[in-house]
Amino acid sequence: MSSSESIAHDYLYTAAQVRELDRLAIASGIAGFELMSRAARAAFAEIPRRWPDKSLIDVFCGGGNNGGDGYLIAALAENAGMAVRVWALSDPLSLRGDAALARQSASDAGVVIKRWEGERPRSQALVVDAMLGTGLTGLVRENYAQAIAAVNTSEAPVLAVDLPSGLCSDTGRQLGAAVRASVTISFIGKKRGLFTLDGIDCAGDKVFDTLAVPSAVYLQLSDDTAEKTKLLNLNTMLAEWGARPRNGHKGLFGHVLVVGGDIGMAGANLLAATAAARSGAGLVSCVTRPEHSAHFLAARPELMVHGLAGGQLAKGGILAGLLDKASVIVIGPGLGQSEWARVLLRSVVSSNKPLLIDADALNLLAETPEILRSHTAPRILTPHPGEAARLLECDTVQIQRDRFAAVLALRDKYQATVLLKGAGTLIADADTTAALYLNSGGNPGMASGGMGDVLSGVVAAFVAQGHFPAHATCLAAAVHAAAGDEAASSGERGMLASDVIDNLRGVINRYAAVSG
């Protein structure tokens, strides 16, 4: 695949960008009806491939071009000898343009077309969802919501055309109701809403077809990278990393300092530090409460552990020496919000070292964002939606309503590389001209305590080894998710953060093993 062709596969697009790609494709000489016909053929090809035993096809069609795709799929199914019926959610005779031509093609093929009045899909049928596409912006209208409910409560598998009906193409949230598809085939540009939030559950298996749109069309849109979202590819990133020098030593691979672990929360610090060590950092140190030192060393003797009480945090003391030696500092895992924690945060920020701020350090930062004014080194924030809401002084619902907007707002407010956790993790580079990044890996088993602490350690280890903050964050997100997916091979329920740590080393070294 050439670099220009890979743009179509590697990037995610908004609905407006896909419409522009459509326009550019038509301007390049491909008729709109031809694009619709190609989409129908690509979708129809999935039916015998995925469901070779299905000969009953119920196609639910809306009133726009998405419905036009459905009418053409119905025509193809009818011509293939399948028992097809179309349920029209709007008056078929009101269709215009290419959609009207598609409806006529279905009628000419002998497809039975009826207005939908509450009917459920037939038993043993395959449902083709061609009701609502990328043009939907507001809540689903009542008749469409009822049709979506009829599809979802049936036992029929569902092939969604371009987008599950009711899903917001740009944000991935349900707009009142959304089809839960078995397979979604999308065209020309991958819709970013399919890869995050509700889109992950609604889309099912995702298939993509460029419809043979020329590479030049994508290149016409490629200059505006800041408006696109790039899918992370772990194998590509690991391949670019390359092998370690044979004469390397621990000093070449950086020194991670993990600060946190208040009373009752020592495990978070230990998880982050262990993950950093397993991710290749040359040296890893911890600052924690004195009560925890012996337990840390017993659990992980490779760490350098410093137990500091409140009276030992004076400026110029032991802490200052530890901060000075660090290549990158993680603050937050198990930090708490006591005065001990606040002194540590102020000291770490004033060291002006590269920082990763997570967990309780984010909550303290939300209270006093001005603390970063004197910090000029690179910084990375890794909030979950609740922490992001506190940082932006809003609620979690607002964050989840548009995760893409939220991660950009965090980047701009805190002038940092930001990783917004959740299904379809998003990363915004501190460089405002760069694209967003989305990691599609991971699984529900990772929704358990300590997973974020592990991620913080991995990110810091990659920064310590010389990766730029945004690249380190992207690589860490992909590695962390892949390690979680390997851990889930034994089952998602009951998976622990330490199970992910156990898989980090193998994932990071996988490319070298394969290429060797």
Q: In this structure, how many other beta carbons lie within 10 angstroms of the beta carbon of residue 291?
A: 13
Question: Is 80 annotated to bind ligand?
Answer: no
What is the structure's pLDDT at 225?
53
- Please answer whether residues 65 and 33 qualify as being in contact, where contact means their C-beta atoms are separated by less than 8 angstroms: no
Question: Is 308 annotated to bind ligand?
Answer: no
d(CA 83, CA 464): 62
Q: Decide which of 198, 223, 248 is a domain's last residue.
A: 223
> Cα 85 to the chain's mean position, in Å?
37
Asked if pLDDT for residue 187 goes beyond 50, the answer is: yes
Q: Decide which of 223, 249, 274 is a domain's last residue.
A: 223
Question: Is 135 annotated to bind ligand?
Answer: yes
Inside any domain, residue 228: no
d(CA 89, CA 295): 65
pLDDT in tens, 102-132: 999 999 999 999 999 999 999 899 999 999 9
The reply to whether 219 and 238 lie within a common domain is: no
Question: Is 268 annotated to bind ligand?
Answer: yes
Asked if pLDDT for residue 224 goes beyond 60, the answer is: no
Question: Is 165 annotated to bind ligand?
Answer: yes
Question: Is 137 annotated to bind ligand?
Answer: yes
Asked if pLDDT for residue 2 goes beyond 70, the answer is: no
Paired tokens of 211? 């419809």
Inside any domain, residue 90: yes
Asked if pLDDT for residue 433 goes beyond 90, the answer is: no
pLDDT class for 226, splitting at 50, 70, 90?
low
Question: Is 376 annotated to bind ligand?
Answer: no
The reply to whether 192 and 284 lie within a common domain is: no
Question: Is 452 annotated to bind ligand?
Answer: yes
Task: Give the HSE-up count for residue 411: Cα atoms under 13 Å, Cβ half-sphere.
Answer: 24
Inside any domain, residue 498: yes
What is the structure's pLDDT at 403?
97
Question: Is 391 annotated to bind ligand?
Answer: no
The reply to whether 51 and 187 lie within a common domain is: yes
Question: Is 437 annotated to bind ligand?
Answer: no
Inside any domain, residue 357: yes
Question: Is 138 annotated to bind ligand?
Answer: yes
What is the structure's pLDDT at 45?
98
CA-closest candidate to residue 356, choices 303, 416, 413, 425: 416
Give the sheet arrangement for strand 56-61, strand by strand: 112-115, 83-88, 56-61, 126-130, 158-161, 183-187, 205-209
pLDDT in tens, 130-178: 999 998 989 999 999 999 999 999 989 999 999 999 999 999 999 999 9
The reply to whether 189 and 270 lie within a common domain is: no
pTM of the model: 0.94
Q: Decide which of 176, 194, 223 is a domain's last residue.
A: 223
What is the structure's pLDDT at 137?
85
pLDDT in tens, 356-393: 999 999 999 999 999 999 999 999 999 999 999 999 99
Question: Is 417 annotated to bind ligand?
Answer: no
Torsion of CA 502, 504, 508, 511, to 10 degrees: 60
Question: Is 262 annotated to bind ligand?
Answer: no
Asked if pLDDT for residue 313 goes beyond 60, the answer is: yes
The reply to whether 287 and 381 lie within a common domain is: yes
Q: What is the amino acid identity at position 465?
A: Q
Mean pLDDT of the chain, nearest integer: 94
The reply to whether 248 and 187 lie within a common domain is: no
The reply to whether 179 and 252 lie within a common domain is: no
Overall number of domains in the chain: 2
What proportion of the chain, given as a percentage, has pLDDT over 70? 96
Asked if pLDDT for residue 221 goes beyond 90, the answer is: no
Inside any domain, residue 424: yes
Question: Is 69 annotated to bind ligand?
Answer: yes
CA-closest candidate to residue 273, choices 262, 290, 288, 291: 288
Instruction: Assign 3-class secondary structure to 448-461.
Output: CCCHHHHHHHHHHH
Question: Is 13 annotated to bind ligand?
Answer: no
Question: Is 129 annotated to bind ligand?
Answer: yes
Paired tokens of 434? 């760069």
Inside any domain, residue 41: yes
Q: How many helices (H) and strands (E) does the chain have?
A: 21, 19
The reply to whether 202 and 246 lie within a common domain is: no
Q: Identify the CATH number of the domain in which residue 335 sits.
A: 3.40.1190.20
Q: Identify the CATH number of the domain in which residue 122 sits.
A: 3.40.50.10260
pLDDT in tens, 40-88: 999 999 999 999 999 999 999 999 999 999 999 999 999 999 999 999 9
Asked if pLDDT for residue 210 goes beyond 50, the answer is: yes
Question: Is 68 annotated to bind ligand?
Answer: yes
Least confident of 134-148, 198-212, 502-516: 502-516
**Average pLDDT for residues 191-202, to the nearest whole number?**
96
Question: Is 224 annotated to bind ligand?
Answer: no
What is the structure's pLDDT at 4?
44
Asked if pLDDT for residue 412 goes beyond 70, the answer is: yes
Question: Is 449 annotated to bind ligand?
Answer: no
Least confident of 151-155, 223-227, 253-257, 478-482: 223-227
Question: Is 53 annotated to bind ligand?
Answer: no
Least confident of 301-315, 362-376, 419-433: 301-315
Question: Is 425 annotated to bind ligand?
Answer: yes
Question: Is 134 annotated to bind ligand?
Answer: yes
Residue span of the structural domain in which 116 resides = 3-223
Question: Is 311 annotated to bind ligand?
Answer: no
Question: Is 223 annotated to bind ligand?
Answer: no
What is the structure's pLDDT at 5?
54
Question: Is 239 annotated to bind ligand?
Answer: no
The reply to whether 258 and 406 lie within a common domain is: yes
Inside any domain, residue 295: yes
The reply to whether 342 and 370 lie within a common domain is: yes
**Average pLDDT for residues 24-38, to the nearest whole number?**
96
Asked if pLDDT for residue 511 goes beyond 80, the answer is: no
Of 504 and 6, the structure prediction assigns the larger pLDDT to 504
The reply to whether 27 and 134 lie within a common domain is: yes
Inside any domain, residue 229: no
Question: Is 143 annotated to bind ligand?
Answer: no
The reply to whether 241 and 333 lie within a common domain is: yes
**Average pLDDT for residues 177-204, to the nearest whole number?**
97
Asked if pLDDT for residue 514 goes beyond 60, the answer is: no
Paired tokens of 423? 């299904």
